[in-house]
Structure 1
Amino acid sequence: MARNKKPGRVKSALLDWLGVPIGLLDGAFWKEMGGTSASGKRVTVDKALQLSAVWACVRLLSESVSTLPLRLYERRDDGSRVQATEHPLYRLLTVSPNAEMTPARFILMIVASIALRGNAFVEKKRVGSRIVALVPLLPQCMVVKRLDTGRLEYTYTENGQQRVIGEKDLMHIRGFGLDGVCGLLPVNTGRDIFGAAMSADEAAAKVFAQGMQASGILSSDTKLTDVQREQLRKNLTNFMGSTNSGKILVAEAGLKYQGITMNPEAAQMLETRNFAIEEICRWFRVPPFMVGHMDKQSSWASSVEGMNLQWLTNGLRPLLENIEQEISRCLLDNDGRYFAEFSVEGLLRADSAGRASYYTTGLQNGWMSRNEVRRLENLPPIPGGDVYTVQSNLLPIDQLGQAQDGEQARSALAAWLFPAASQDQKPE
C-alpha cells in the first residue's frame, strides 16, 4: 500500500480491545482483518467480543485464572517444598509484576491474549542481569519469524516504531498451534462459527428494528403511480418502529390489508442462536451453563459440581500447565530447583462446604495441621496447632477381628504408621 505523506489523513483504524489505538501503517490493522466468513461477515477480535457468548467465555477464563494464587516454590532434598520468598522473581510473580499492574491484572491480560489471539508475550525488563519487571505486550503488534539460524526473531511495533526483541528478553506463551512457533488465532480459525453467530444476532435485531415485523401485506387491484408509492412509503414510516407499535393503519385508494402471522421464536431464531452459543462455548472449552446458557442443563447440585470438576480438569488445567511451564522455561531457565504453580484450591474460596470437607480430610489423614488450615483461612496460629493428627481407629487390615486391648491397638497403629521409630525402640 502506498504511504500517505499527509499525517492528518492517517487516522486510527480501530480501537483495540485493550484501549490502544492502531494506525493504518502499523501493520497490526491488516493482521486484524483476518477474513470474511461464509455468512458474509468480516470477523475480527473486536467484533467477536460483541457477541455475549465470546465476551462471557473470555471473561470467565481470564478472571478465573487471575483469581488463583500463583506461588514460586523451592524443592528441598527431602522432596518437600517451601515458598521461595528470597528468590528475585518471587515479588514479581506474587506482588507486583511491574509498576502499573497487580498480579491478577497481569495474569488476566495473559489469559485473555491467549484466548482471543492464541499468543501472549511478556517482555523481561532488566537492570544488569536481574529481571526487575515483567511487561505484557500486545500480541497483535508482534511478528514472529524463524531465522535461517533456527532461532526466532520477535519484531514489535509500537507507536509506528519497530524494534527487535531477543528471545532471552521475552516470554512467549503459545496457545493451541500446529507449528510450535505460534498459537493459532482463534478468531481466524473459527471465523465461520463467529460469523454465523454475528449474522443470527443481526438478523434478529433487524426484525425488531422494523417494528411491523412483516406483519401484513397491502394489496390493490390497480397499479399505483410513483407519486402514490412515495406517499404510501412516507405514511408507513409513521407506523414503523417499536415506539409506533399498536397504531391503527388507514388503508386508502382501494388498498386492502392482509395480515401475516409470524412465530416469535422464528423471528428471534432462538434455536439458531442457542446453537451458536453452544458452538462458541465448545470453541473456548467452557461449559455453557457457566456463561448463563441453561438449556439442556441439569440444575442438580451434583451435576453442576461434576461439570465444575470436569471444566477444571479439561478446560483450566491445560492452560495453567502451559503458563507454569513457560515460567519455568523463560523466567527460571529450567532450573529444576524452583518452579511456579497455581493453587487450584483457590476455586474453593467461595465454597465454604467444599473448604470444610477439604480441610477435614487433610486433618484426619495427617497431611495438614491445624495451623496450616488456619493460615489458609487468614487466622492466627494456635499453640500446639503444628501437630499432625490421624484417626485413632485405623488398623492394618490383617489385624481386623483380633482381640486386643487398648494399649495393644495403639502400639499396632504406631508400628504401622511409624515403622522406623518402632524398630528403634526395640530392646536389645
Structure 2
Amino acid sequence: MKFRALLFSASLIAILFNGLTINTVNAQTNDFLYGDQLPDAPELSARGEYKVGVKTVNLVNPNQVDILNSKEGNDPTYDRPITIEVWYPANVGDDAKTVVYDEVMGTRGDSLRPLTPFTFKGRAYRDATPKTGNKFPLVVVSHGYVGSRYLMTYLTENLASKGYIVAAIDHTDSTFKDANAFQSTLLNRPKDIRFVINEMEKMGAKGSKNNLEGVVDANNTAIIGYSMGGYGVLNVGGAGYSAGLAQFFTGMTGGSTAISVHTAGNAAYEKMTDARIKAIVAFAPWGMERGVWDAEGLKGLKTPTFFIAGSQDDISGYEKGIKAIYEGTVNADRYLLTYMNARHNVAPNPPPAEALAPGLHIDEYYRYAEPSWDQRKMNNINQHFVTAFIGKHLKNQDNTKFLEVQKDSNEKDWTGFKPRSSTGMELLHAQPAN
C-alpha cells in the first residue's frame, strides 16, 4: 500500500510539473504574454489607452571611480557604460509587429553559471514614433543583483501604456551578462539612477534633437527599484546610508571615499536632494539587516514611498529588514504591501519556459519564481498598486479608494479586486511624523 501511495504521488508530481511546463510555454507562445490580466486581476492592472514604443539607448557616464581597480593610494576613474531600455506612448501603424526581447539566464557565464539565451514576446513596438503634443511623467526602474533592464517588462510596458516615459537600467557589473564584485553595485547603484534621470531630462529638452524631445516631464519623476534597486532608489530619495556601509570597501581607498558621499550627515549628500522625484516604489529593498541603514539615515526619506515585500524574504529580511525600513522612514508618507509567505521575488516577470529545462540549476527558475504565489497574479497586483500610487503623486489622480483599504485582505475584498481574489496580503499605511 505504501509503495502504491508513493507511486501515485510521484505520478501526480510529474503531471503537475508537466502541466506547469505546458502552461508556461503557452503563456509566451499563444495570446497570453507577461503582464496580461488574469481573470481575477485587480482593476488598475489593465493596460492603458496608449500603444507603446520601445527603444534601446547606450549611455556613458564619464570619469567615474573605477572601484574594481581601486587600491590603497590608487583611485582610478573610467567612463562607465550604461544601457537603458525606454518605453513610451507611441504612434503605431496597423502593420507594425510587436517586440521580441532577447534575454539570458545564468550569471556572467565563465566562473559562475553558464549563460542561456532565450527570447520572450512583449506588447511594445520596437523604435515606434513617440506620441507628441504632451509631456509624460518619467519613471526610472532599477533591477536587482543580478538582473537586467528586461526583468520587469510586465510593469514597464504597462506603465508606458498609461502615459509614462519608462527608462529601465542595465546596471554595469550587475547584470546577468557582466556580474562582477559586489562593491561596484554598492557604489554605483544610486549614481546610475541619478545619471539616468538627468540623461532622460536632456533627451526630452527643447533642442535635444532626440525623438523624445518635448515629451519627457522629468519634473514629475517616480523611481522604482527591486532588491539592490530598492537600496538605490531609497538613497536617491533621501535615505542616507550609514557609516557601516564602509565595511564593504576595506582596502579600497577610492571606494570608501566615494561611498561616503551617499551617507547621512554628509553635506555633499544633503545637496543631492532631488525635487523632481515625487514618488518611490521599493520592492524588497536590501541592506537593513547588513547595517546599511540606521535610524538617522532613514529619517532623511521624505518622498512618498510604496514598499512591497514578502513576509518570508530570505535575502533582504522582513521583520528586521524591509518592515524595519518602512517603520524607520518616519518622515515619509508610506505604504507597505506584504505578500504573505512570499520570499524575495515579489517583483520580476514569471519564469521563462526555458527555466524549466532538465539539468538547469534551480536558481535559474528561482531567479523569477515565488514558491507560494503565482507570479502572474503578483504581477497584476503590482501593476494595480503601482498605478494607483504613482498616479496619485505624478498625475494628481484620486486613487484614495484603492490605497486606503483595510489592513488584512482576508477580512473583506479590497476595492478594485474581484470577489474572493484579494487574499493573503497585508497593506500598512503610515503618515509622516512631521
Establish whether TM, by shorter chain, passes 0.5.
no
Per the shorter chain, which TM-score range?
under 0.3
Q: TM-score, normalised by structure 2?
A: 0.24
Task: From the two aligned structures, give the one with the greater helix fraction.
Answer: 1
Q: TM-score, normalised by structure 1?
A: 0.25
Higher gyration radius (CA): 1
